[in-house]
Structure 1
Amino acid sequence: MSEEQKQHKEAIAALLHQAGEAHLATHQETNGDDPDWPIWYAGYLLENGFEALLDAKLLRSDLIYLLVLVDKQQKIEAPGAQWERYYADFFVTRYLK
């Protein structure tokens, strides 16, 4: 992984962490439980520069799909991993070559 990819990965992980905290804050009454979380996250990420970090144009529906995919993948491959870093690696691998 190049130095540029590493920097993007760190920035993406930070944005994902920020999204997680914002999601928890908006869903305090359910302790963050939200069956539609990918929809909320996709909107938040797109509004906060996710596309620029990936240097990609993403449809909201595509990002929702990818968030569901990476969530399922992480639960199978690395259930104890820090989700933000796992997700960041998932996106960097697919978009920043």
Structure 2
Amino acid sequence: MEDKINTLADLFREVGHAHHQAFVAVNGADPDWPLWYADYLLDKLPAHIGQALNREQTADLLLRLHQAHSSAAPTSDWADYYARRLLQA
């Protein structure tokens, strides 16, 4: 299970880096980041979580994970937190 968590966390880090590069002029700031991330992850995420989600479902999931991370464990690594929450649900 730990390998799956690490692999999924790496995917989240990859999308975070790609997003930051795409929005480097504004230091990664993007109020619509869940949709951008969803587009990036749409064809990659199902292999990791065992189900296909559409763009809106993926964006909603990411936003809920962000909110949970911000309130429950804001000092922890966000990518690891997201991966653990998804795979241990």
Give the TM-score normalised by the residue count of structure 2. Answer: 0.94
* Equivalent residue letter for 1:32: G
Across the two proteins, how many residue pairs are aligned to each other? 89
Check if 1:80 corresponds to 2:70: no
Which residue in the other structure is 1:10 paired with? Answer: 6
Give % identity: 33
Which position in structure 1 is the counterpart of 2:36? 40
Cα root mean square deviation, aligned: 0.9
**More deviation, 52-61/32-41:** 52-61
Query: Following TM superposition, by how much is the alpha carbon of 1:60 offset from its aligned partner in structure 2, in angstroms?
Result: 1.5
In the alignment, residue 8 of structure 1 is paired with which amino acid? K
Shift of 1:44: 0.5
TM-score by length of 1: 0.87
The amino acid that maps onto 1:28 is V
Structure 1: which 5+ runs fail to align? none
CA distance in 1, matches of 2:56, 2:4: 23
Q: What's the counterpart of residue 19 of structure 1?
A: 15
Letter matched to residue 29 of structure 1:
A
2:54 maps to which residue? 59
Instruction: Give per-residue Cα distances to partners, 1:7-54, cap 9 Å, x unaligned.
Output: 21111100000001100000001000000000000110113x211111
Amino acid at match of 2:70: K
